Structure 1
Amino acid sequence: MRTHAPGWRARYDQWFTAPQTVVVQPTTWCNLDCRYCYLPFRKLKRQMPAAVAAALAASVAQLTASGSPTIGLVWHGGEPLAVGPQKFTRLLAPFEDLRRAGCIRHYVQTNATLITDTWCELLAAHDISVGVSIDGPATMNALRVDLRSKPAFDRVLRGTQRLRAHGVPFSVISVVTTASITRPEELLEFLAELGCHSAGFNIEEIEGVNAGRQVPTSEQAEEFWRRTLTWSRSHHDRLEVRELDRLGEYLHLIRTGQRAEWDERRHDPIPTVSVTGDVVLLSPELADTAEAAYDDFRAGNILHHPLDEILGHAHRLRYVRDFLTGLDRCQAECPFFDFCRGAQAANRYFENGSLQSTETNHCRVSRQALITALSNLATKEKERTS
């Protein structure tokens, strides 16, 4: 009897869930010029019109009305606070009923240099979860500079201090470079003292226009994670580490007989809405990327088609199909797939030049090295106690 491989729609549904996160780009512009930044248009002062925000709010309302869980709106940039408090308040206005009803939650990822008392009051009034981008103490943060190449560290620090003074909690994302990957304890201690409740570590990647810098190796990453694991075991009450928490959740589910819950988890399509209303799927880093073969990764425009319609046709997009092909290959070939769940789309594209490809350096340094570090630590502890 002849059997048929599942169609593209079935394959998409196998791998993807309804969106839990929507990334929103209120502006392309950034007041910093970080040396590793991947954004091609960060020096252009484009801003999202109110009509785009209103159309997105209507789309999100449709998604939540159909039974989707609370959706996180992540305001990203550029530097999202560069639009100013008044403009930002106008962009938030169409979502206010949804927020009050518990259908959405706002997040903002900021370099914190523009935070004022007014911003703190706005963030608190709209219950916005704040993520701050800072790479550690001044020497580790040296690549985060302004448009005149002046260090931004003192301004970032003042922003975090103002958040703390107003009682606004915040998390941190740190880019780990070749200059900081050998100093995890110094980085962790700094972040613990900074006052953030959690931190995530993005080991520097080849991505977007950041294509020429040397990035950390797998060996460096494994040592970084080993020492991070060791530090965290004694200091977890001081700082939660995003990657370790994910690993811990995975191991807990496996040990307690809940593997099915982990295996049934699917990818978030992460719709990213640009200042013009164009929607890109799979990875926010693909937004503003010119690629004729994929129509610049556009899945539609929110001004002309609602999100549920755009997502309903996602399986027809060539780049989504290529990504699904790569996911199938990851599952078949990679011994780390059980934890990793497949390479990130943007990393496949920018590192390998193909969304059908599998392993990337991001896989090796952010997933494989973490698992290997934990395994080697456990082996050494077993040898010591034997």
Structure 2
Amino acid sequence: MSIAPTAELATAAVFARWIAPRPSLVVMQPDTFCNMDCAAYCYLPQRKRRNRMPVAVAQAVAASLTSLGPDEFGQRQIVEVCWHGGEPLAVGVEAMTELLAPFEPLRAAGLIHHSVQTNATLINDDWCDLFQHYSFSVGVSIDGPADLNARRTDRAGRPAHDRIMGGIGRLRQRGIEFSVIAVVGTDGIGRAEDLLDFLAGLGATQIGFNIEEFEGSNAGDQPRPAEARGFWTAAIAWSTAHPGVRIRELDRLGGYLGTIRAGERAVWEAHSFDPLPTIAFNGDVILLSPELAGIRDEHYGDFVAGNVLEQDLGSIVARAWQLPYVTEFIDGLAACRATCGFFDFCRGATAGNRYFENGTFASTETNYCRVSRQELVNALIDTTRKEEP
């Protein structure tokens, strides 16, 4: 039996410290195609192409999740299987039903949970039947009222706002709960209250904000940190006045503060990154960031860690420490921990943002860090100081 050199053992040990051995979220790409063309900011490079996932890929992923087994504590963690695209509903109800079938034994055993992130334009009663039958969690992408949602357009360049609202209306008629994610660009960064009033009025169970990022094929302008601080300050004030509405980012910050106050800092610090495997339509596995799917780079190649038709998911994740982009990401996390005062909460910039903003995974701070994490904390500090007697 051969023994890996000391340097390789050390690299594998560092990987095990930072990256969880089992995914809690698996992203499935049923088709690269999207029925819309939000060219102003969409990061998906293959959204105009039909590349449909074969059932064999879904079967291989389901088999991989079955073989993962319990963790070191003897527990079987529930895995979220998130259907993402392209526009996942563009694959059609019949094809999606076929892709879901291999997961049914796992779902019946309570070991997986399905979710979908959709632009909602294709939602009809057939889709609602599917969501209810398979107990889907539904997330809708909508950027606010019509003027702030105008960049979500169809292939003829027409705003899709009315169709998105129609899909949301159908979910509400059928009693299907849903969350929303809004991309906040330079046009909406100064309108936190308007955004929250509108999104809360839709009846969403949770509101999430993605302050516009530079990633994939999106190279547009991004809000500046000072603007982001103003946005989060207004969001905190709005949330205080509307305590029944959940805001994803404030929930995360509140969870961190609650853990610290409970004297359980070690629990938070022990957090490891989900390997976040994204399963491309052809079975290729990309780790750490769904935004890397379909991207090619002169230095990193295609970011593919393996293929589920050839290897099980557990084996692919276990050997991920051999991939240059994964080891660089770990180096970047260590550098963040050593240099950034926000690391305790932030836990380091995401892999995709490091790459798309800085050109390397070994980098540290990104604009995403500043506008989505640092200025959120600064806004809370500002708010607290104002409230002090």
- For normalisation by structure 1, the TM-score amounts to 0.96
Distance in 2 between residues matched to 1:37 and 1:236, nearest whole Å? 32
Compute the displacement of 1:132 (Å). Answer: 0.3
Instruction: Indicate whether 1:217 and 2:224 are aligned.
Output: yes
Asked whether the 8 Å contact 1:70–1:102 carries over to 2, the reply is yes
Instruction: Indicate whether 1:227 and 2:234 are aligned.
Output: yes
SS in 2 for 1:31: coil
Q: What number of residue pairs does the alignment pair up?
A: 379
Compute the displacement of 1:236 (Å). Answer: 2.1
Compute the displacement of 1:5 (Å). Answer: 11
For residues 157-196 of structure 1, give each alpha carbon's deviation from its aligned partner in whole angstroms, at most 9, with x where no partner exists: 0000100111110000100010011000010011111011
Instruction: Indicate whether 1:253 and 2:253 are aligned.
Output: no
For residues 70-89 of structure 1, give each alpha carbon's deviation from its aligned partner in whole angstroms, at most 9, with x where no partner exists: 00000000000001100000
Instruction: Indicate whether 1:161 and 2:169 are aligned.
Output: yes
Asked whether the 8 Å contact 2:200–2:207 carries over to 1, the reply is no
Which residue number corresponds to residue 25 of structure 2?
Answer: 21
Instruction: Indicate whether 1:199 and 2:207 are aligned.
Output: yes
Which residue number corresponds to residue 44 of structure 2?
Answer: 39
Distance in 2 between residues matched to 1:301 and 1:20, nearest whole Å? 19
Compute the displacement of 1:371 (Å). Answer: 0.3
Taking the TM superposition and a 5 Å limit, the aligned residue runs for 1:101-140 are: 101-140=109-148
Distance in 1 between residues matched to 2:211 and 2:353, nearest whole Å? 12
Deviates more, 1:57-66 or 1:14-23: 57-66
Against the structure 1 CA distance between its residues 140 and 185, is the aligned structure 2 distance closer, same or farther, given a 3 Å change threshold? same
Distance in 2 between residues matched to 1:58 and 1:134, nearest whole Å? 34
SS in 2 for 1:240: coil
Asked whether the 8 Å contact 1:26–1:83 carries over to 2, the reply is yes
**Which letter does structure 2 place at the counterpart of 1:14?**
R
**Which letter does structure 2 place at the counterpart of 1:22?**
V
Aligned equivalent of 1:296, options 294, 299, 302: 302
Which residue number corresponds to residue 151 of structure 1?
Answer: 159
Distance in 1 between residues matched to 2:8 and 2:58, nearest whole Å? 40
Distance in 1 between residues matched to 2:301 and 2:112, nearest whole Å? 30
Distance in 2 between residues matched to 1:294 and 1:32, nearest whole Å? 30
**Which letter does structure 2 place at the counterpart of 1:118?**
D
Distance in 2 between residues matched to 1:10 and 1:343, nearest whole Å? 21
Asked whether the 8 Å contact 1:131–1:173 carries over to 2, the reply is yes
Compute the displacement of 1:284 (Å). Answer: 0.6
Which residue number corresponds to residue 286 of structure 1?
Answer: 292
Aligned equivalent of 2:11, options 8, 14, 38: 8
Distance in 1 between residues matched to 2:27 and 2:55, nearest whole Å? 16
Which residue number corresponds to residue 358 of structure 1?
Answer: 364
Compute the displacement of 1:292 (Å). Answer: 3.7
Distance in 2 between residues matched to 1:261 and 1:59, nearest whole Å? 28
Instruction: Indicate whether 1:58 and 2:66 are aligned.
Output: no
Compute the displacement of 1:295 (Å). Answer: 2.8
Distance in 2 between residues matched to 1:373 and 1:103, nearest whole Å? 38
Distance in 1 between residues matched to 2:7 and 2:151, nearest whole Å? 52
For residues 356-375 of structure 1, give each alpha carbon's deviation from its aligned partner in whole angstroms, at most 9, with x where no partner exists: 10000000000000000000
Compute the displacement of 1:293 (Å). Answer: 2.5
Against the structure 1 CA distance between its residues 5 and 118, is the aligned structure 2 distance closer, same or farther, given a 3 Å change threshold? closer
For residues 106-143 of structure 1, give each alpha carbon's deviation from its aligned partner in whole angstroms, at most 9, with x where no partner exists: 00000000000110011000001000000010011011
Asked whether the 8 Å contact 1:64–1:103 carries over to 2, the reply is no
Against the structure 1 CA distance between its residues 292 and 64, is the aligned structure 2 distance closer, same or farther, given a 3 Å change threshold? farther
Asked whether the 8 Å contact 1:24–1:73 carries over to 2, the reply is yes
> Which runs of 5 or more structure 2 residues have no equivalent in the other structure?
1-5
Distance in 2 between residues matched to 1:64 and 1:195, nearest whole Å? 38
SS in 1 for 2:60: helix
For residues 262-321 of structure 1, give each alpha carbon's deviation from its aligned partner in whole angstroms, at most 9, with x where no partner exists: 111111010000001000001111111102422310000010000011011011111101
Which residue number corresponds to residue 195 of structure 2?
Answer: 187
Compute the displacement of 1:253 (Å). Answer: 1.0
Which residue number corresponds to residue 79 of structure 2?
Answer: 71
Aligned equivalent of 2:246, options 240, 247, 257: 240
**Which letter does structure 1 place at the counterpart of 2:168?**
T
Distance in 1 between residues matched to 2:211 and 2:291, nearest whole Å? 15
**Which letter does structure 1 place at the counterpart of 2:137?**
S
Asked whether the 8 Å contact 2:294–2:302 carries over to 1, the reply is yes
SS in 1 for 2:82: strand
> Which runs of 5 or more structure 1 residues have no equivalent in the other structure?
none
Asked whether the 8 Å contact 2:70–2:77 carries over to 1, the reply is no
Against the structure 1 CA distance between its residues 64 and 118, is the aligned structure 2 distance closer, same or farther, given a 3 Å change threshold? farther
Instruction: Indicate whether 1:80 and 2:88 are aligned.
Output: yes
Which residue number corresponds to residue 377 of structure 1?
Answer: 383
Asked whether the 8 Å contact 1:64–1:70 carries over to 2, the reply is no
Compute the displacement of 1:31 (Å). Answer: 0.7
